[in-house]
Amino acid sequence: MKKLVLLLSLIISTIAFSQEAAAKKVGPPEGQALIGEIYGAGVSTKAEKSAMTTKKLDQKLKKSAKLDNVAVKGKVVKVCDKKGCWFTVETDNNEKFFVKMKDYAFFVPTALEGKTIILEGNAEAKVTSVDEQKHYAEDAKKSQAEIDAITKPEEEIRFMASGIKVVD
């Protein structure tokens, strides 16, 4: 009986430690970001059909500081290497805008870099502090010289994505 209790204790401990180790795994999710893959809540058919260019998004944000329930099509140029918790999308005029996931509910693989996606969510024009810019520069593994060069707040487009679909 003692051997059985000891064996069961050993099995339970092994399972508990393996689950704890898996929970501590840090890094973006695995995946190839293939055409048709969806992250988060997905993208509605209506959003796919009405997705605006990033140039049009920029024009709309000049009229209204915040836009809810919009869809944008763009190319991913950088994904957070630490968790896949943010990425940047290139605009039509070669500027970039920053994307985070709504409620920190999902992450994206680094394989999303270079892919064209449709994002659905909310967008706003925002001033980003020096400290926040430096934090994201560290996440992006920029050099210390690049991080130190960040000295003033920056106005930029911020997008809070509820769903993402890879389209190209």
Residue 19 has pLDDT above 70, yes or no: no
| 7 lies in some domain | no
| 17 lies in some domain | no
Tell me what percent of the residues of the chain surpass a pLDDT of 70: 85
Q: How many structural domains comprise the chain?
A: 1
Helix, strand, coil percentages in the chain from 3-state DSSP, rounded to 5: 35, 35, 30
| 91 lies in some domain | yes
Express each pLDDT in 110-147 by its tens digit: 999 999 999 999 999 888 899 998 998 888 888 999 99
Residue 20 has pLDDT above 60, yes or no: no
Classified as helix, coil or strand, 141 is coil
| 12 lies in some domain | no
Can you tell me the distance from the alpha carbon of 123 to that of 125, in angstroms, rounded to the nearest whole number?
Answer: 7
| 8 lies in some domain | no
| 72 lies in some domain | yes
| 6 lies in some domain | no
Q: What does pTM read for this prediction? A: 0.76
Express each pLDDT in 73-122 by its tens digit: 999 999 998 899 999 999 777 878 999 999 999 999 999 999 999 999 99
| 34 lies in some domain | yes
CATH number for the domain harbouring residue 52: 2.40.50
Range of the domain at 97: 27-166
